[in-house]
């Protein structure tokens, strides 16, 4: 307790990044037991998006906690949907506004696959699958180890940022530090259910979000190499189903085999024509719209650890698609056969020429690629392979007219988003995050996965980056989700640093 | 009634084929009502192979009917399997033995899909799907029309030959005609269940079958053109399943799409490599072992009506595989993608890179092709495409060693069978059948479908041909199976002719 007054005096006059880190460490030491208890309370409220009574309890709890910390709050509601917890923390004289996006809902959980009840947080001495055992929640800071874990649904995805933000506010207020930007808290309750109303919520509340200068998406895990990271984009997503046609009903493969067209053969030939031997897409134009990286982003790429050999071992892969590294491959649009079906295989296989064969094709998009244009390219390729394209199963006239027919059912989807590392505000965030994370900090141009970040970057036209804090092995979306205590501490320090970063 | 004595006198001295046809017609006129009643009785006994109590009732009924006609009978039994009704009708001085194979069991029937109970035979004025209506069973020959139908399970497949054989014996005995060959009746009770014990039954009873000179398989429908036919062979059947491998577990298609190998892509490329653009198999050697047709068989081929245009219209096909006619295509081995599966399509499709993709491949074989050798060729092709072949899912070491892995699971199967049209005994059968059927009679070198005829042609080393009598639209294996009365009459005349054919 004796050093606090001295530090306090220091920061009043000149609070360096190092000072704030130290104050955050001190705050964690003084309050670690309580932080963990508060997190346990938050994790105990079931939070599946369709369970509106419990979702509302989560929202109410978070609102109460924000209010305690002098945040102006508002519950944004649309009938029958999880509300958005909106918080505003104005700072006199601040010239910019940072928004912290978090989602307080979690993936549904099948309790039978979990070791403990997903909403009865359980404290572990380490990872369950590596010798960790359940121990009692700590009662003193000395009992806490950074490798301890809390197992509970949303421990990593995505309630951890809630507790770290609340704790950062506590730390700042306890130490009377200056918050340097207006802060917006935007806590969504239906991300895991697809964020179907997010677009509407944003349109209906433009006045609440228009002044925001930077969106910080507090979600996802740190890098697979266990190093902290900032992520500047996500891939977009779209897709289509393609059905090819044989006879108008399944035929006896003896009476008609070798004469009736085989839809699985036609589909295979079509799919095979889409990639070269190395796994690169050879559909005309498929890679043409990819927006190149800046020099800064190329440098950042060069500093990302290569995880290819680890991934190959972990996933039993000898020969990945393409000739570039995993990191580079994520900067290209993808085309994946997510599913194939025709007739039956295995015990149910019958001696038929099936009537149809269907492929579900998933496509990931990178910055520059338009979802509709990308699908148009695939359709142009299908035409080029001699297929007639239909939108419904073909009628007899259509069947008799065309030698090869493909039904194409396009999915919706959305574009990729990527915020430039070159923007001054982003440079500030990078610098401040590095103060917390050290030189190990990875700057990742894009995740392989998709989030509707375009709503912010393209529709609201604001920069948006992702700040992951959860451990890479947090089992998000899976049973036995967990957070490593050290990652919680990292989050508190990162939030504290960004809330107080200088312009 | 008045003409019978005159005819009778005639045949005692010189019974021509025409005479026998006329006598058979007369017998049908005199006994048509009773024949239909007797057939109704036979069709009323449920006859699914696994229903042993009823199967035994069928066998007992048929034995009783054979005995009535002075046939020496024997029930060949193996515990827990449907028995074979064996009948022997020795003829003094006969120098050859003809065997009539029939199966008295029928396909299982889901009553809910039938218009009437499958084992309550119902008499119709015509085909149900073309204006036919249920009418009472005829009480005089004048009430019978050749286009009438009896609807019941096995009406076409395969009890019709039983009643026609019994009636032919009646006709011959009533008219005191000379049977010219020793006759064997070999009525199987498990054909629709796969004839699993047929091989064993034949080995265990070699003394009963060794003297047979020609097997006549009374089964199947007449030609799609509605013309009668003799069929000289069947295609063999075999197949395999091929599984290709991506990552060792399904992966997020965003985080790994464009890097992880996609098993559905690999499988499609492999399948595409097996055929050319016209649908011909381009696996090395695939067509090499095909035994060519004799001149006589080529002539027969030229006389088979082309049904291609009808089939194309009926099945909604613009572009069949290959450039030859349907008839010619059946004389080639086939390779058909019977099934494809990987991940999911439709509503269940998920954004994954699946771990595996599987194709079920069906192969039909023609005379000359060995089932094992044909599968070896496919495996050689798989190797040539750069795959390592495994028999079980690959372990980690195997996964890390080979860029492309395919698991091949071979099915059993059996070879094709084809009896030469050039054999003297076959020439006799053709001639005698033409007396009944007229010049329309089609001589079909092979069916597209498969039956284990090789047990007779290759293992017993005897010629074997198929004598179909059922109408082409008898709905065999389907609900509302039926027989056209005219086809029953055709069968009676054909059986009568063959039992009395001269050497």
Nearest-CB residue to A317 (from B261, B338, B354) = B261
Strand order of the β-sheet with A182-188 is A72-76, A84-89, A182-188, A97-103, A214-217, A464-466, A229-231, A442-444
User: Dihedral of CA B330/B332/B333/B338: which sign?
Assistant: negative
pLDDT, mean of residues A478-491: 96
Residue among B259, B394, B450 minimizing CB distance to A320: B259
> Residue A252: inside a domain, yes or no?
yes
Whole-number pLDDT of residue B17: 84
In a domain, B102, yes or no: yes
End of a domain among A384, A410, A436?
Answer: A410
Chain A residues closer than 8 Å to B342 by CB: 337, 339-341
Straight-line distance from the first to the last Cα atom of chain A, in angstroms, rounded to the nearest whole number: 32
The arithmetic mean of pLDDT across residues A15-35, rounded, is 94
> Which of A317, A318, A362 has its CB closest to that of B351?
A362
For CA atoms A9, A13, A19, A23, the dihedral sign is positive
Q: Token pair for residue B386?
A: 């750069």
Find the closest chain A residue to B356 by CA distance: A339
- Largest Cα separation within chain B, whole Å, is 92
Residue of B nearest to A223 (CA): B255
User: Is A159 in the same domain as A44?
Assistant: yes
What's the rounded Cα separation, in Å, for the pair A186 and B375? 62
For residues B265 and B387, state if they share a domain.
yes
Q: What is residue B14's predicted lDDT score, i.e. its pLDDT?
A: 52
- Supply φ then ψ for residue A165, to 5 degrees: -65, -45
**DSSP string across A214-252:** EEEE--SB--TTS--EEE-EE-EEEEEEEEEE-SSS-EE
User: Which residue range(s) make up the domain with B355?
Assistant: 236-300+312-410
| Parallel/antiparallel/unpaired status of strands B84-89 and B72-76 | antiparallel
Same domain, B141 and B214: yes
Q: Note whether A216 and A101 are within 8 A (CB).
A: yes
Shared domain for A249 and A286, answered yes or no, is: yes
- Yes or no, beta carbons of B334 and A396 under 8 Å apart: no
Does A310 map to a domain? no
Q: Are A136 and A240 within one domain?
A: no
Give contacts of B349 with chain A, Cβ < 8 Å: 241, 338-339, 360
- Is residue A315 included in any domain, yes or no? no
Whole-prediction pTM value?
A: 0.88
Contact A336 B262 (CB under 8 A): yes
CA nearest to A237 within chain B: B254
- CB atoms near residue B56 (< 10 Å): 16
Best mutation target among A338, A388, A400 (most B Cβ atoms within 10 Å) is A338
B344–A342 CB contact, under 8 Å: no
Whether residues B123 and B154 fall in one domain: yes
Pinpoint the alpha helices (H) of A137-216. Answer: 160-174, 198-204, 206-209
Say if CB B423 and CB B215 are below 8 A apart.
Answer: no
pLDDT at A6: 44
Nearest by CB to residue A259, choosing from B274, B322, B349, is B322
Residue A16 confidence (pLDDT): 85
One domain for residues A149 and A204: yes
Question: Residue B261 and residue A320: Cβ atoms within 8 Å?
Answer: yes
Residues B206 and B294 grouped into a single domain: no
Question: What confidence score (pLDDT) does residue B10 get?
Answer: 42
Tell me, yes or no, whether A417 lies in a domain: no
Domain shared by A276 and A385, yes or no:
yes
For residue B55, the domain's CATH number is 3.40.630.10
CA distance B441 to B222: 10
* Residues of chain B with C-beta less than 8 angstroms from the C-beta of A223: none
Mean pLDDT, rounded, for A295-315:
95
CB contact under 8 A, A339 and B354: yes
Nearest-5° Cα angle at A182, A178 to A187: 115
Residue A418 falls inside a structural domain: no
- The secondary structure of B150-192 as a DSSP string is EESTTTTTTSHHHHHHHHHHHHHHHTTPPP-SEEEEEEES-GG
As for the ipTM of the complex, it is 0.88
CATH number at residue A383: 3.30.70.360
Neighbours of B347 (CB within 10 A): 5
pLDDT at A415: 96
In a domain, residue A448? The reply is: yes
Is the domain of B64 the same as that of B12?
yes
For residue B348, what pLDDT is reported?
87
Q: Following DSSP, what letter does each residue of B218-260 receive, concatenated?
A: --SB--TTS--EEE-EE-EEEEEEEEEE-SSS-EEHHHHTTTS
- Which chain B residue has the Cα nearest residue A324? B259
Are residue A168 and residue A109 in the same domain, yes or no?
Answer: yes
Identify all chain A residues contacting B272, using CB atoms and an 8 Å cutoff.
Answer: 265, 268-269, 271-273
- Residue range A54-69: mean pLDDT, rounded: 98
List CB contacts (< 8 A) between A353 and chain B.
Answer: 336, 338
Query: What pLDDT shows up at residue B11?
Result: 43
Q: What is the pLDDT of residue A477?
A: 85
Partners of A338 on chain B (C-beta within 8 Å) are: 253, 264, 343-345, 349-354
Which residue among A235, A339, A404 sits closest to B319, beta carbon to beta carbon?
Answer: A404
Predicted local confidence at residue A13, as pLDDT: 46
Whether residue A200 is contained in a domain is answered as yes
Domain count, chain B: 2
Spatial distance between the Cα atoms of A187 and A43, rounded to a whole number of angstroms:
15
Nearest CB to A321 within list B261, B274, B447:
B261
pLDDT band, residue A8 (cuts 50/70/90) = very low
Q: Which residues of A437-457 are buried (b: 16+ CB within 10 A; e: fewer)?
A: beeebbbbbbbbbbbbbbbbb
pLDDT score recorded for residue A4: 46
Q: Are residues A77 and A204 in the same domain?
A: yes
pLDDT over threshold 70, residue A276: yes
User: DSSP for B290-346?
Assistant: PPPPPHHHHHHHHTSPP-HHHHHHHHT-SS-SSSS-HHHHTTS-EEEEEEEEEE--G
Query: In chain B, which residue's Cα lies nearest the Cα of A224?
Result: B255
Confidence of residue A272 (pLDDT cuts 50, 70, 90): very high
* C-beta neighbour count of B272 within 10 angstroms: 18
Interface contact A340-B345, CB threshold 8 A: yes
| Radius of gyration of chain B from its Cα atoms, rounded to whole angstroms | 26
Reported as a pLDDT band with limits 50, 70 and 90, residue A347 is confident
End-to-end CA distance of chain B: 32
Q: Which of B346, B345, B304, B344 is nearest to B326 (CA)?
A: B304
- Nearest residue, CB atoms, B352 vs list A333, A338, A350: A338
Mind listing the pLDDT tens digit of every residue in chain B (503 residues)?
A: 444 444 444 444 457 888 999 999 999 999 999 999 999 999 999 999 999 999 999 999 999 999 999 999 999 999 999 999 999 999 999 999 999 999 999 999 999 999 999 999 999 999 999 999 999 999 999 999 999 999 999 999 999 999 999 999 999 999 999 999 999 999 999 999 989 999 999 999 999 999 999 999 999 999 989 999 999 999 999 999 999 999 999 999 999 999 999 999 999 999 999 999 999 999 999 999 999 999 999 999 999 999 999 999 999 999 999 999 999 999 999 999 999 999 999 988 888 999 999 999 999 999 999 999 999 999 999 999 999 999 999 999 999 999 999 999 999 999 999 999 999 999 999 999 999 999 999 999 999 999 889 999 999 999 999 999 999 999 988 899 999 999 999 999 999 999 999 87
pLDDT tens string A209-260: 999 999 999 999 999 899 999 999 999 999 999 999 999 999 999 999 999 9
């Amino acid at each position: 307790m004796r050093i606090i007054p001295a530090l306090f005096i220091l920061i009043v006059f000149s609070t360096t990044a190092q000072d704030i880190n130290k104050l955050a460490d001190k705050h964690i030491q003084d309050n670690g037991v309580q932080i963990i208890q508060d997190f346990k309370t938050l994790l105990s409220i079931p939070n599946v998006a369709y369970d509106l009574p419990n979702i509302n309890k989560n929202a109410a709890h978070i609102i109460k906690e924000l209010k305690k910390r002098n945040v102006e709050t508002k519950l944004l509601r649309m009938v029958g949907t999880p509300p958005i917890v909106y918080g505003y923390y104005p700072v006199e004289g601040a010239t910019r506004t940072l928004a912290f996006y978090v989602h307080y809902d979690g993936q549904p959980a099948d309790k039978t696959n979990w070791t403990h009840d997903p909403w009865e947080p359980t404290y572990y001495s380490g990872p369950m699958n590596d010798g960790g055992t359940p121990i009692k929640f700590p009662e003193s800071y000395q009992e806490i180890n950074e490798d301890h874990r809390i197992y509970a649904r949303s421990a990593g995805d995505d309630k951890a940022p809630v507790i770290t933000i609340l704790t950062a506010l506590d730390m700042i207020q306890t130490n009377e530090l200056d918050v340097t930007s207006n802060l917006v808290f935007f806590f969504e309750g239906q991300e895991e259910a697809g964020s179907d109303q997010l677009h509407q919520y944003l349109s209906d509340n433009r006045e609440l979000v228009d002044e925001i200068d930077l969106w910080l998406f507090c979600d996802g895990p740190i890098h697979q190499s266990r190093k902290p990271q900032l992520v500047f984009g996500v891939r977009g997503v779209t897709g289509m189903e393609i059905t090819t046609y044989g006879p108008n009903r399944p035929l006896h493969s003896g009476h008609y085999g070798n004469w009736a067209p085989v839809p699985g053969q036609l589909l295979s030939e079509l799919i095979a024509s889409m990639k070269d031997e190395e796994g690169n897409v050879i559909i005309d134009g498929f890679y043409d719209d990819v927006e190149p990286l800046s020099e800064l982003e190329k440098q950042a790429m060069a500093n990302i650890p290569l995880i290819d050999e680890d991934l190959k071992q972990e996933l039993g892969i000898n020969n990945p698609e393409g000739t570039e590294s995993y990191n580079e491959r994520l900067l290209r649009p993808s085309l994946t056969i997510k599913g194939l079906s025709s007739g039956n295989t295995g015990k149910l296989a019958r001696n038929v020429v099936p009537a149809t064969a269907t492929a579900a094709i998933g496509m990931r998009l990178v910055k520059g690629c338009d979802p509709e244009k990308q699908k148009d390219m695939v359709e142009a390729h299908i035409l080029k392979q001699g297929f007639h394209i239909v939108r419904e199963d073909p009628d007899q006239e259509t069947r008799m007219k065309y030698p090869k027919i493909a039904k194409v059912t396009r999915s919706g989807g959305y574009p990729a988003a990527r915020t430039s590392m070159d923007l001054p505000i982003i440079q500030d965030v990078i610098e401040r995050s590095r103060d917390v994370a050290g030189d190990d900090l990875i700057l990742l141009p894009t995740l392989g996965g998709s989030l509707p970040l375009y709503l912010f970057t393209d529709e609201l036209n604001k920069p948006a980056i992702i700040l992951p804090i959860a451990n890479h092995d947090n089992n998000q979306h899976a049973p036995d989700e967990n957070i490593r205590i050290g990652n919680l501490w990292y989050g508190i320090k990162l939030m504290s640093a960004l809330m107080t970063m200088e312009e």
